[in-house]
Every structure is written in structure tokens, then in C-alpha cells.
């Protein structure tokens, strides 16, 4: 028998034995946590293709720019029924009257035409049914400036945007407080995380004039005489 096949078989057996031993020693279940680091310096940072290093915490400063994503949705429903009814009957009769006789003396005087009398009856009925359903939504992005940083890390943001299209002007202002941690790594904070949020959106021009109510109609609707 030739020695080459024998040497080849011994060499293959040695390779499988070494790989099995290395696999058992390198198993995560058989190694203690303090021995998981490779002795040759391999770490998760330099050996993994999908490793993403943690982002360093950002330190905000005054006049920094932060993006605010406004997404507000409100919905309200109300139902009301009112009913009232009033009935009244009154009867008044003046049986006597006084007359001044001089400066300090007063005496009864007869009613020559009879005792005056007032009679009446009132009947009032009022009923009202009302249903109200409102839906409002507001979604846009706006850049804000850090105008104040409190000692506890609370940040005051202020933003203003003005857009002019031909004769129409659209202005939006926003103020609110948030925590520094609420600002994400992408430098974006959501409007729902802002405290004392105040959004004021105004428009002027031909578009506004087309649906704006006149002053007399506004006064009449607020007065509601009927």
C-alpha cells in the first residue's frame, strides 16, 4: 500500500479535528463574557459589516436651527337639545289711590271712573336641536431658531415663515418649548412634543378677500338677534 493515500487521510482527519476544536472553543455559548473579545484585536466595530457606531449627543446652542414637523389633527362632535316652556297669568287691580292735600298730608281719593285693572296671560315655547361636527388638520415643515435654553435643558423655539404669491401673502408663526432629548439625530422635532405650542397662520390678498365675511355680517352673526 502506498504511503501517499495514508498521509492524505491523516492530514484530512487532522484538519477536521482542529476545526471542530476551534468551533467549540469559539462558540458564544461555551465562552465566558469576558473572553468574547478576540485576542488578535477583532471587535464588533472592525469586523461587522452592519455595525453602526452610536451617534454622539448633540449640544444645542443659542441661535441653532431646528426643523419642526407640524402634524396636527383635531376632531370634535357635539349634540345638544334644548326645550323650555313658560306660562303666566297676571291680574292686577288698583283699589285705592292717594292724593296730597297740602305738602305734608296725604289722603285716599276715590276712583271716579272705577278701579283700574290689568289682566293678561303669556305663553312661551322654545325648542332647539343642534348637531356639530368639526375636523381640522394642519401639516407642514418649518425651521425654528433656538432663542432660549433653560438650566434644566428645556429649549424655547421660535419660527416664522412668509410666502408671497402674486397678490397673496401667507404668514405662519410658531413658538413652543421642548426638551433637548426630543430633538432627533436628524435635527427634527415633532410638534406633538412641544409644550405651550402656539401656531398662528394668516393669509392676506385676493384669496382671503374672496371668502372673507363682511364686517356687518360678522357683527350680525355675533349679535344673533333671532
pLDDT digits (tens, 9 = 90+) for 34-91: 444 455 567 767 777 777 777 666 788 899 999 999 998 878 888 888 888 888 888 8
**Cα gap 124→138, rounded to integer Å:** 45
Of 189 and 135, the structure prediction assigns the larger pLDDT to 189
**Cα gap 145→155, rounded to integer Å:** 10
Phi, psi of 192, rounded to the nearest 5 degrees: -70, -15
Task: Please give the model's pTM, rounded to 2 decimal places.
Answer: 0.52
Q: What is the DSSP letter of 224?
A: -
Out of 14-23, 104-113, 201-210, pick the least confident. Answer: 14-23
- Section 115-122 average pLDDT: 83
Query: Quick check: 165 and 206 in contact, CB under 8 A?
Result: no
Query: Quick check: 98 and 108 in contact, CB under 8 A?
Result: yes
Of 165 and 219, the structure prediction assigns the larger pLDDT to 165
Name the residue among 84, 21, 62, 80 with its Cα closest to residue 157: 62
Q: CA distances (Å), 188 to each of 2, 194, 214, in order?
A: 75, 12, 41
Please list the alpha-helical segments (H only) found in the chain: 3-25, 44-47, 206-211, 215-223
List, in order, residues 6 or more apart from 10 with CB less than 8 Å away: none
Q: Which residues pair with 76 in a beta bridge?
A: 134
Which H or E element spans position 182?
A: none
pLDDT at residue 19 tops 60 = no
pLDDT at residue 162 tops 80 = yes
On the 0-12 / 13-18 / 19+ scale of CB atoms within 10 A, 180 is middle
**Cα gap 170→161, rounded to integer Å:** 8
- Section 157-179 average pLDDT: 92
Share of the chain above pLDDT 90, in %: 22
pLDDT digits (tens, 9 = 90+) for 119-149: 888 888 878 888 878 888 889 999 999 999 9
Query: Quick check: 156 and 162 in contact, CB under 8 A?
Result: no
pLDDT band per the 50, 70, 90 thresholds, residue 5: low
Domain residue spans of the chain = 1-33, 65-75+135-212, 77-131
| Pairing status of strand 65-93 against strand 188-190 | parallel
- What is the per-residue pLDDT for 142? 94
- What is the per-residue pLDDT for 48? 75
Amino acid at each position: 500500500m502506498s504511503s501517499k493515500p495514508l498521509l492524505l487521510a491523516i492530514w484530512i482527519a487532522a484538519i477536521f479535528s482542529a476545526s471542530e476544536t476551534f468551533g467549540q472553543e469559539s462558540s458564544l455559548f461555551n465562552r465566558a463574557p469576558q473572553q468574547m473579545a478576540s485576542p488578535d484585536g477583532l471587535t464588533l466595530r472592525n469586523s461587522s459589516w452592519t455595525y453602526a457606531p452610536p451617534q454622539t449627543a448633540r449640544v444645542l446652542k443659542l441661535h441653532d436651527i431646528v426643523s419642526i414637523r407640524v402634524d396636527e389633527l383635531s376632531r370634535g362632535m357635539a349634540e345638544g337639545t334644548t326645550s323650555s316652556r313658560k306660562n303666566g297669568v297676571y291680574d292686577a287691580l288698583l283699589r285705592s289711590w292717594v292724593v296730597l292735600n297740602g305738602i305734608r298730608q296725604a289722603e285716599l281719593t276715590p276712583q271716579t271712573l272705577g278701579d283700574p285693572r290689568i289682566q293678561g296671560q303669556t305663553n312661551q315655547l322654545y325648542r332647539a336641536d343642534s348637531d356639530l361636527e368639526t375636523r381640522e388638520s394642519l401639516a407642514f415643515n418649518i425651521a425654528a431658531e433656538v432663542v432660549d435654553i433653560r438650566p434644566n435643558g428645556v429649549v424655547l423655539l421660535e419660527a416664522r415663515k412668509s410666502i408671497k404669491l402674486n397678490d397673496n401673502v401667507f404668514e405662519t408663526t410658531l413658538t413652543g418649548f421642548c426638551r433637548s432629548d426630543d430633538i432627533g439625530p436628524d435635527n427634527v422635532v415633532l410638534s406633538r412634543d412641544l409644550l405651550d405650542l402656539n401656531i398662528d397662520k394668516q393669509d392676506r390678498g385676493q384669496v382671503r378677500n374672496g371668502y372673507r365675511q363682511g364686517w356687518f355680517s360678522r357683527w350680525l352673526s355675533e349679535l344673533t338677534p333671532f
